Amino acid sequence: MATSQNQLPKTSGNTNKEKLTKMSNQDIEKYYFELFRQNYKLPEGIVTYKDKPDVILDGNKKIGIEITNFFLESGKLPESEQKQRKAREKVIEEAQRIYLDNGGEKIQLSFSFDKTSPIGNEGEKKKLINKIIDLAKNIDELKSGQICKDKFKHIPELWFVYLNSKEYEKPKWQLTQCGKVQPMSIEKLREIVNTKEIKSDNYEPCDAYWLLVVVDFMDSAQDQEIMIEVAEKIDSTVFEKVIVYKPYFEDVFEAK
């Protein structure tokens, strides 16, 4: 049974996402690895958290484990979920502020956005804010529930809208994840492996290296279906094992 020399900050339940955003990268890696080791039989040895690679498992042989997240797209792309999520949050926040400043009801609204219609430049953001404000004015007298698509068919950026008509002292409009989850791309997984192989020259010397690729479904920029039953595998001259892991679902796929 592997033992650990470090203690992990505890996080659980629906607050996981919020707590992860406040943790350092190293603590996030610890968090993911501690979940992983509960669902995957590791060789016996002592676990130490480091940097390059992120985890050392020292037993009969010394195994270095690098941890990375499986993002659907590069965060540098303007249409990526990483960029779009921030834009959506700002649009919703500004729309609610203006709506309330103009005497709007203290209702709560939840929005899911259509990934095929990304938010564009500042001018487009202002137009979208105004459209959402008008939508809120047109539905704030309705009963709680999912809003019919016809009410916002003129807003292609929106996929889903839910109204909670109960009034709150401090209401907060929010993003929610909705829609079909896409299957994991083996090609994108290969790109991740190749990128990590290039950086492996700086790793601490070990007898073997593993790559742990995490898919966190709570992040829309990562959420995807892990294809457990696939014949195609990953080749790597650096990593002895390439493992894709989806926490909370406990999906584990050995790609190599």
DSSP assignment of 186-238 equals HHHHHHHHHHHHHHGGGSPP-SEEEEEEE--TTSTTT--B---S-S-----SS
| Tens digit of each residue's pLDDT (9 = 90 or more) over 59-92 | 999 999 999 999 876 667 777 777 888 899 999 9
Quick one: pLDDT at residue 234?
86
Q: Place 20 in a pLDDT band, splitting at 50, 70 and 90.
A: low
Task: Dump the DSSP string for 29-87.
Answer: HHHHHHHHHTTS-PPSEEEEE-SSSSEEEEESSEEEEEEEE--SS-TTSTTSHHHHHHH
Percent above pLDDT 90 for the chain: 58
Question: Could you tell me the two tokens for 244?
Answer: 């894709």
Q: How confident is the model at residue 21 (pLDDT cuts 50, 70, 90)?
A: low
Name the pLDDT band for 230 (thresholds 50, 70, 90): low
What mean pLDDT value characterizes the chain?
A: 86
Whether 176 and 160 have beta carbons less than 8 Å apart is answered as yes
Coil, helix or strand for 116? coil
pTM of the model: 0.60
Q: How far apart are CA 243 and CA 38, in angstroms?
A: 14
Angle between helices 81-101 and 122-139 in degrees, nearest 10: 50
Backbone angles phi, psi at 122, to 5 degrees: -60, -40
Residue 226 has pLDDT above 80, yes or no: no
Angle made by CA atoms 30, 18, 56, in degrees to the nearest 5: 5
